[in-house]
Amino acid sequence: MSLEVRKIVSQIVDVRREYGRPLQKARRIAIVGVVIANPFPAGYVEDVVSTADAVGAELGGLVGPACVDLLGGDGSIVEAYGKAALVGMEGELEHGSALIHNLRFGNVFRTAAQGTELLPAAEKVGLPGAPIDVPLKHKLDAKTRSHHQTVTFRIEDAPLPREILVLCAAANGGRPLARLAAFGAEVKQ
């Protein structure tokens, strides 16, 4: 089975000032999304895993390494990452979940980003142009609070009713002015 790709969209966000304060290092977030024809048949099907297994590596290969490249280099520059799926109105939430919660998909991105943690994820069903909020967490330690953040992504004409938008996002750091205590510090007082 091969994917039917309509478009690939890349976005870079460079934050240089936050809350009126200049940052020592620009915080960069890279996002690569691919709009594909929904590979699942119309209507309910019991087995979504077989299709996700069949396209997982190809799908991951379209967005994962490209996201790391867009951020500016090899995986060593990535500090935080995440993934998302936005399913068109004639698809099922489980279609997006099956595609992105599949190690054949996720391992491609995790390897490119040199990460070890699970990829935080979001998935929903929506109209063309609907935004999706993508959670990001530290690639080596999901408890690193400074890297808990969310980035919003949208494509004006996607997903169409029988399409799915799948994306990966990566950041070169945590929140620009992060200053929360380390995980668990509040219960040690």
CA-CA distance, 138 to 73, in Å (whole number)? Answer: 18
Q: Is the pLDDT of residue 178 over 80?
A: no
The CA-based dihedral angle spanning residues 20, 22, 28, 29, taken in that order and rounded to the nearest 10 degrees: -20
**Average pLDDT across the chain, whole number:** 94
How do residues 111-133 score in pLDDT, each as one tens digit?
999 999 999 999 999 999 999 99
Q: What is the pTM of this model?
A: 0.94
What is the 3-class SS of 12-26, one letter each residue? EEEEEEECCEEEEEE
For the domain made up of 5-187, give the CATH fold.
Answer: 60s Ribosomal Protein L30; Chain: A; (3.30.1330)
**Would the pLDDT of 187 be above 80?**
no
Report whether 164 contacts 88 (CB < 8 A). yes
2-6, 144-148, 185-189, range with the lowest pLDDT: 185-189
Q: What are phi and psi of 90, to 5 degrees?
A: -100, 20
Distance of CA 108 to the CA centre of its chain: 12
Query: Which pLDDT value is given to residue 177?
Result: 74
Domain ranges of the chain: 5-187
pLDDT per residue as tens digits for the range 50-62: 999 999 999 999 9
189: confidence class by pLDDT, cuts 50, 70, 90: low
